[in-house]
């Protein structure tokens, strides 16, 4: 038979009729006897007369519910130890995986080097095929200086003609063309300037299969005094050749502006003021020329400032609305040398057994240069220069940085040191890999950096 689940025990029902009513008892109190007569009346209770029974609140019986204890096997809790271990391993694996993305290596190289004393004489030729060649570079510059009118000692009537330089071209014949002094040159506006000296224009010549007009530089002066001849760069024709085939083939172009033209009252300054002003302008002009010529030198050439030769024009004076102005023009010319060829020539003097292609001189620009002849003149026509170089060249052996990086890719640090040791140009090396537990140089060349401790 199926057992019913345990239920609460319900107490049996009770009725108010089943409640026992306590009988009324008369309570007699002992009193001292009195002589008073007591009459006792009997109360008669009629049958069928309803008697009011006082309501008595009966407390509910306390029901005790039996307790039951069930015995069963509680499930065992699983240990989290292995879960923690697995989580830790997972984190380590992920961290390791991420770190591999940031693997890198830095290889610091100290090349072999040596310092020698140098004090030798060299001869260079203006020839690209020479063992030691040179090239000529030239720059032009003008400077101006305003004079303080209060320093003037007097005034004078001046009629001054403008002057300047032009380049005359011969595109007519291979034969030189001669021009006499005072030959006229005319601007498109009709202003006339004249040659100061006789001129010989070289004939045409062929260079690299192309015919090039002969040319020469010349100084000219305005035909008349006056400020209107102070003009900028212009093209010129030769009126004297008009009607001749040479008229369109021989012509000129400005090299400098025409300046100095004036007609009127001009202030006069003492010799001391003029001399001091010219000295200041000469120093300023040389400094400006030096900066300009240095700025245009290619990186594979070296220029020694001591090789600069200056050609400065006399100071010219002009009056303006704001006062007198001094102007000075100049030209700077210098020789420059190919670094590789000069290095080879120096090594032939101090380390003749060394392969010049395996070394470089890092302080080549700091060597002291001087011409053998103090009055050396330099121009595009100079074919040979002799000079002295002195100092302490710092010789550094070079190595193929790209090849070294390729050779090191994927190697352990220990094997990398063996490979670096096979390079005779390297004196010392340090290999650092990241992260710290990584002991291998990455295979990606972008993650490998080569650092040279000796700057180029």
Confidence of residue 325 (pLDDT cuts 50, 70, 90): confident
**pLDDT at position 18 over 70:** no
The counts of H helices and E strands in the chain are: 5, 25
Identify the CA nearest to 298 among candidates 454, 141, 137. 137
- For the beta carbon of residue 168, count every other beta carbon within 10 angstroms: 26
Confidence of residue 154 (pLDDT cuts 50, 70, 90): confident
Cα(287)–Cα(14) distance, rounded to whole angstroms?
A: 133
Q: Is 429 exposed, middle or buried (0-12, 13-18, 19+ CB in 10 A)?
A: buried
pTM over 0.85: no
Residues shown for the chain? 456
The confidence score (pLDDT) of residue 61 equals 61
**pLDDT at position 171 over 80:** yes
- Which run of H or of E encompasses 396? strand 394-397
Q: Where are the alpha helices (DSSP H) in 199-358?
A: 271-295, 339-350
Q: What percent of the chain has pLDDT over 90?
A: 56
Average pLDDT over residues 143-149: 86
**pLDDT at position 2 over 50:** no
What does the pLDDT look like over 383-413, one tens digit per residue? Answer: 999 999 999 999 999 999 999 999 999 999 9
Q: Is 361 exposed, middle or buried (0-12, 13-18, 19+ CB in 10 A)?
A: buried
What does the pLDDT look like over 253-274, one tens digit per residue? Answer: 999 889 888 888 878 888 898 8
**Mean confidence (pLDDT) of the chain:** 83
What pairs with residue 195 in β-bridges? 220
First to last CA, the chain: 106
**pLDDT at position 50 over 60:** no
Q: Which residue has the higher pLDDT, 9 or 248?
A: 248
Phi, psi of 95 (to 5 degrees): -60, -40
The confidence score (pLDDT) of residue 262 equals 82
Name the range with the highest mean pLDDT among 92-96, 269-273, 344-348, 370-374: 344-348
Domain layout of the chain by residue ranges: 104-153+269-456, 156-266
The confidence score (pLDDT) of residue 129 equals 84
Place of tokens 């007009």: 213
Q: Which residue has the higher pLDDT, 96 or 168?
A: 168
Cα(106)–Cα(441) distance, rounded to whole angstroms?
A: 9
What does the pLDDT look like over 95-108, one tens digit per residue? Answer: 555 655 678 999 99
């Amino acid at each position: 038979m199926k057992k019913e689940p345990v239920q609460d025990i319900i107490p049996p029902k009770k009725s108010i009729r089943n409640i026992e009513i306590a009988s009324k008892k008369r309570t007699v109190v002992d009193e001292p006897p009195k002589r008073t007569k007591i009459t006792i009346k009997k109360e008669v209770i009629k049958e069928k007369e309803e008697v009011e029974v006082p309501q008595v609140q009966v407390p509910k019986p306390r029901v005790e519910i039996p307790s039951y204890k069930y015995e069963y096997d509680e499930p065992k809790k699983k240990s989290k130890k292995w879960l923690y271990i697995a989580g830790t391993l997972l984190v380590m694996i992920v961290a390791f995986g991420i770190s591999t993305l940031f693997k890198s290596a830095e290889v610091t190289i100290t090349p072999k080097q040596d310092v020698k004393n140098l004090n030798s004489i060299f001869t260079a030729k203006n020839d690209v095929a020479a063992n030691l060649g040179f090239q000529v570079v030239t720059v032009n510059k003008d400077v101006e200086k305003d004079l303080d009118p209060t320093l003037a000692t007097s005034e004078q009537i001046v009629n001054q003609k403008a002057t300047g330089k032009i380049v005359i071209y011969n595109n007519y014949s291979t034969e030189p063309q001669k021009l006499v002094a005072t030959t006229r040159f005319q601007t498109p506006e009709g202003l006339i300037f004249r040659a100061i000296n006789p001129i010989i224009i070289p004939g045409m010549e062929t260079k690299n299969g192309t015919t090039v007009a002969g040319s020469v530089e010349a100084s000219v002066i305005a035909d008349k005094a006056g400020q209107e001849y102070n003009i900028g760069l212009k093209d010129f024709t030769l009126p004297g050749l008009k009607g001749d085939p040479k008229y369109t083939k021989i012509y000129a172009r400005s090299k400098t502006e025409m300046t100095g033209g004036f007609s009127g009252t001009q202030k006069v300054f003492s010799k001391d003021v003029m001399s001091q002003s010219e000295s200041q302008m000469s120093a300023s002009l040389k400094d400006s020329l030096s900066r300009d010529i240095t700025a245009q030198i290619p990186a594979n050439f070296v220029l020694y400032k001591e090789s600069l030769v200056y050609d400065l024009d006399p100071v010219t004076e002009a009056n303006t609305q704001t006062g007198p102005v001094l102007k000075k023009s100049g030209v700077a010319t210098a020789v420059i040398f190919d670094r590789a060829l000069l290095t080879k020539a120096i090594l032939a003097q101090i380390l003749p057994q060394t392969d010049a292609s395996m070394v470089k001189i890092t302080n080549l620009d700091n060597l002291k240069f001087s011409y053998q002849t103090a009055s050396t003149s330099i121009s595009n026509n100079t074919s040979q220069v002799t000079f002295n170089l002195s100092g302490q060249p710092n010789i550094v052996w070079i190595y193929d940085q790209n090849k070294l990086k390729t050779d090191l890719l994927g190697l352990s640090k220990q094997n990398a040191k063996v490979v670096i040791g096979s390079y005779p140009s390297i004196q010392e090396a340090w290999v650092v890999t990241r992260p710290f537990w990584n002991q291998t140089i990455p295979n990606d060349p972008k993650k490998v950096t080569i650092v040279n401790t000796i700057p180029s």
